[in-house]
Amino acid sequence: MSAGKGKFITFEGIDGAGKSTHIATVVEFLRARGRAVISTREPGGTPLGEKLRELLLHEAIYPETEALLMFAARREHLARVIEPALARGAWVVCDRFSDATYAYQGGGRGMDRARLSSLERWTHGHLQPDLTFLFDLPPNVAGGRIARQGRALDKFEREDAGFHRRVREAYLERAASAPDRICVVDAGRSLEEIGKMIEEIVVARCS
Ligand code: ADP
Ligand code: TYD
């Protein structure tokens, strides 16, 4: 990979699809090639964002408030972490970003997409990820993976099958509307196959 400016790469998909696993791999891959990389997440990534995450993942919140809090946490994250990192030439690898709001608050909760789009423009009209990996998997398969982890579920993971199906569909709609940015990954393939594909795409698209 040639030296150059930092890139903003996001990972998306329903819970249990494999994002966290592959973020760790791609961060290691980039660092081994001499890149300065920060690995961060949403909601979260700043002290305020992590406090909001705690509320968002565990409290019952009215859907519109939930969407506004996601964007509030995002604005803080952009201003304090993402934009400064990109400005100094670092790469930013982020576990979820605005596509998740379209999927969960738009698809899952049924919020109007035009409202989300105006909040998105307000929050980061000037900036989009350079590349997004969407991990696509049937919700029952992802649910099985989470169940095998044997951990406590958060508020979103406890939602019913219909919610997770709508989230998946909304993600696929997003991918169809931004095919140059969003790369759909068949998350049912092996860890090795997925890892190799991601590395090839990162090298091809971000060099
Ligand atoms: P996410 O961050 O998308 O919620 P994780 O990376 O935490 O998902 O993965 C959820 C579980 O599924 C973990 O136990 C992980 O080891 C397992 N897993 C991830 N990718 C695969 C895969 N391709 N095949 C089988 N199991 C996987
Ligand atoms: P996530 O970081 O994926 O959890 P884990 O640590 O278990 O892998 O969890 C964040 C949750 O927040 C996830 O269920 C999706 C949800 N979410 C939204 O609903 N809207 C958003 O805009 C974002 C960024 C996340």
pLDDT at site 52: 98
Residue 105 Cα to ligand 2 middle (Å): 11
pLDDT at site 2: 46
Is 2 among the domain residues?
A: no
pLDDT at site 1: 53
> CATH number for the domain including 54?
3.40.50.300
Q: How is residue 122 written in tokens?
A: 């307000």
pLDDT at site 4: 56
Q: How is residue 75 written in tokens?
A: 């604005």
Residue 157 Cα to ligand 2 middle (Å): 9
* Under 8 Å between Cβ of 63 and 105: yes
Q: Which residues of the chain have pLDDT under 70?
A: 1-4
Number of domains within the chain: 1
pLDDT at site 207: 72
Is 34 among the domain residues?
A: yes
- pTM for the complete prediction? 0.97
107 lines ligand 1 (CB under 6 A): no
Task: State the Cα–Cα distance between residues 81 and 106, nearest whole angstrom.
Answer: 26
* Under 8 Å between Cβ of 21 and 30: no
pLDDT at site 134: 98
Is 3 among the domain residues?
A: no
3-state secondary structure of 23: helix
Residue 142 Cα to ligand 1 middle (Å): 8
Is 17 among the domain residues?
A: yes
Per residue in 70-107, pLDDT (tens digit) is 999 999 999 999 999 999 999 999 999 999 999 999 99
Is 158 among the domain residues?
A: yes
Is 38 among the domain residues?
A: yes
187 CA closest ligand 1 atom index: 23
> What residues make up the domain containing 54?
8-206
20 lines ligand 2 (CB under 6 A): yes
Task: State the Cα–Cα distance between residues 206 and 2, nearest whole angstrom.
Answer: 9
pLDDT at site 5: 78
